[in-house]
Structure 1
Amino acid sequence: MAKNQSYYFSHDINASNDPKIAAMISELGMISYAWWWILIEKLAAADDYKLPLKKYTFVALDNELRMNNEQILTSVQQVFNKNQHVLEQNSMCSFCSFLLIYLLIHDYELLDCDDEYFWSPSLIRRFEFKKVKEETIREKRRLAGLKSAESRKAKKQNLTHVQQNLTHVQQNQLIKEKKRKENNIERDTRAREDENPLSMFDDDEVKNKPIYDLYMKAIGDVSPVIKDRLDDLVESYGKERVIVAINTTADNGGNSIKYVETVTAGNLKKEVQKDFGASKHNGNARNVSRKKEEVDWQAEYERVHGKG
């Protein structure tokens, strides 16, 4: 069995009142109480909570307990006198820790042993109880985890079942609600545009915004269609001609984009005629002069001499 991995073990707060412990302290002195708990710590860290009855064990314990022959023999002299046969039969009786453990086993019944190991029955019971308790807790946590997982799975299945079994009425209600929200958004958008019809053209980068603004003030609202037609006019005739056409339309009482388009095209035509009118007039004058210079000699002869 692997070594115990716990870093503590239970320790009764009234352990010193145990009759066996009290007898040990009374006969061996208070120092034996320290030896006892150091020994318990060593057992708690050992495999199966047991230490072997071997020479190396007692060599190590003498060092750990900081015991010497004079001290231990003085402390246990009267107690150990009745066990002289042990000294004669066991070669390890020269180790102070062996004498202490012998007394703890046979006189105070705090330890137990067999031919190979010695141990503390109380310590083993405590660790077995701790092990059972920890296993019980782990099992409870495992079952709680399984129960929680089953509960989540059931909720998920129920939710899926509910979603899959929505009635047509509920589905229609969802559709109607979606349409209502869309209508509300559209209505709010129209309301904002009614308050400020140019709000759709609030982008500072809109190059024809002054044209839209002039149209709004002089003629009427600017819809997306009117905006596109104004853009076409500006692109075809230039911004200055469109501004003139809008002002002319307003002065003449016009109230439509068609009117503005007609005026713009008419103004351009007038400009063309004006530009080319003078040159045309000069050309006609030259033609007249030339005709005058061309004399119909046959006609003149007939006029002077008469026909026949």
Structure 2
Amino acid sequence: MNKDCYYFAHDSNAKDDPKCVLMIEQLGMEGYGIYWMLVETLRDQPDYTYPVANIPALARRYNTSAEKVRTVVYNYELFTVKDDRIFFSESLNRRMQVFNEKRAKRSEAGRLGNAFRWGASQTDRNAITLQSQSLAIKGKESKVKEKESMEKVATKRTAFVAPSLQEVSDYISEKGYAVDARQFVDFYESKGWMVGSNKMKDWRAAVRTWTRRQNPSNTPSHEPQRPYELLD
């Protein structure tokens, strides 16, 4: 194994989690592979988060589509998305917190052992013990603060953020859709970005649905095309 590879624990029955079962049913085992690719990618990051904007590049690197990767990130509650800017796995964060605490304790124990082995004086040993206790207390305080911070910024599902006209236009161009970005934005802004009686969850999915269901041949040129509502 490459020495630069990083370890993380995971459950052998993760595939039986109801969220994963639904994902596999809808996306096949490719979706399951994308899920673990994302978890491994998060594990390699210093803060265990990844930018949403980099999803297309990540998809190209692993020979899949950005649409499928976004679906896994947004649709199955397997990841938490913050401000439509970064995403992370709460499960991975919990596991890595336990792992890092154990590693820190082993490192401290080794340091203390070396100090005693090299004949440190009793005064030195007392100082080392006090320092170790202080580090343990600080570690607990840091853990509490980290948990409180996470509870404030992380939500089970990220609140919807309405896209700008430029974002919609860029997405349409990326996909090669024949869709009027301004017409799309104006329509949903007039509805308060609602889909039926529910708040829109994914404007990109709404663009795709709009594209699939519009019928230009039956729409007078002087009238805007009437979109179909995105199904939940």
Q: Which has the larger radius of gyration?
A: 1
Instruction: Using structure 1 for the length normalisation, give the TM-score.
Output: 0.35
Instruction: Using structure 2 for the length normalisation, give the TM-score.
Output: 0.45
Greater helix share, structure number: 1
